[in-house]
Structures are given as structure tokens and as C-alpha cells.
Amino acid sequence: MADRKTSTAAAPQAVAPRRINHIVLNVRDIEESHQFWTEIVGLKQVATLRPRPGVTLPKMRFYSADHEGKYTHHDIALVESPNVPAPTDWKLSGGSVAVNHIAMQLSDREAWLKQLEFLQSRGVKFNWRVNHGVTHSVYINDPNGYGVEFLYELPREMWENDIQGAIDYLENLPTEGPEALVDRTDSPSFGQREPVAVPAE
């Protein structure tokens, strides 16, 4: 009888993805959501799910962010689902929808400040303005009660050596009036001996 050899091979592990590719949202009214995601968020519709003979398909549309002047097949897709509950104002905890929020990264601080000004000019309510240790962010509602975060990411050297410390940092900021459009550049660094300045545009 052959000897059984004890396996010394490591147990199989999941292969880490490179990034999240896309998210699909159920929405009550696809026209209402289309208007929000194109006019307020600024995504571009790149495709529609077209009818096919003998197949029942939902109303579904596909949207891309600007990837350095190029578009992808979709970052966000919308599926019309009339049973989605009536929306409520977004909050970080205790919400009634399964998706908490979707974070939209702006190219830099200047673009983010322009987006804040645009949102305020359109009467969009800021549910939360906050400086995190990794981003500066504003949170708003989509028409279905999902949160949408607009952010710009702080330089990696400010947080990569102490991600936990950076995540623990939180500075609440005004959500109304001119004060809601002010962005300070004296954010703390984490895991660094010397502070790293946020680039001012």
C-alpha cells in the first residue's frame, strides 16, 4: 500500500480583482433616473438593451464615465423595476435601500469644486459634506434613495502608510450656503512624520 503524503500545498485562494467593473441599479422610473445620471452626475449613455424576438427583456440602459477622453461599455447600468420602494433622503446608516451609496471620483480638486458649485446651482440637497482622511466628499440622493458621493482623492502619500488612521478621521462640514463650497487644503497626513500638503489649484 502506497504511503499517503501530507499535502503541504497552500489552500486555494480567491484571485483579487483589479477593480470593480460596473454596478447595476434597479430604478422605479428609468426616464427620471436617466435624467439624474446624465444631467446631474454627468455620465454618458452608451447603449440600451434592445428588444429581441421571443425574449422578454426589461428597460435597461448603460452609462459610462469619462475615462481620459474614452468611454467604456458601462460603469453604471439602470434597470427599470417599478417595485423599488419610494425614496427617502440618504443617510449613512438606517436606510431602506440595499445599496448605500455609489462614489463618483472627480479628476482633481478643481473639478470637484466646480461640481459642488453646479450641484448647488441646480438646487441639489447636500446630505453630508465631509473631509475623510482619504477623500473630500459630498453625498447627495439619486431619485431612488441611493446615495451618490462625489469626491476627490487625497494623494496616496497622505494615507497609504496608515489606512486605518485615515479612515478613522472625519471632519463634518456645512451643507448649505457659500460655506458648503469651501474646501480647505490643510488635511492631516497619516503614517507620515511630516505633513503632506493637498495640491491647491
Q: Collapsing DSSP states into helix, strand and coil, what is residue 65?
A: coil
What residues have CB less than 8 Å from 45, skipping those under 6 apart? 34, 38, 61, 62, 63
70 in the Ramachandran plot: left (φ > 0), alpha (ψ -120 to 50) or beta?
A: beta
Q: What is the pLDDT of residue 10?
A: 86
**Closest Cα to residue 32, out of 71, 87, 73?**
87
pLDDT at 14 over 80: yes
Provide the pLDDT confidence category of residue 63 given band limits of 50, 70 and 90. Answer: very high
What is the pLDDT at residue 11? Answer: 92
Q: What is the mean pLDDT of residues 32-36?
A: 98
Distance between CA atoms of residues 151 and 109, nearest Å: 9
pTM listed for this prediction: 0.87
The confidence band for 5, taking pLDDT boundaries of 50, 70 and 90, is low
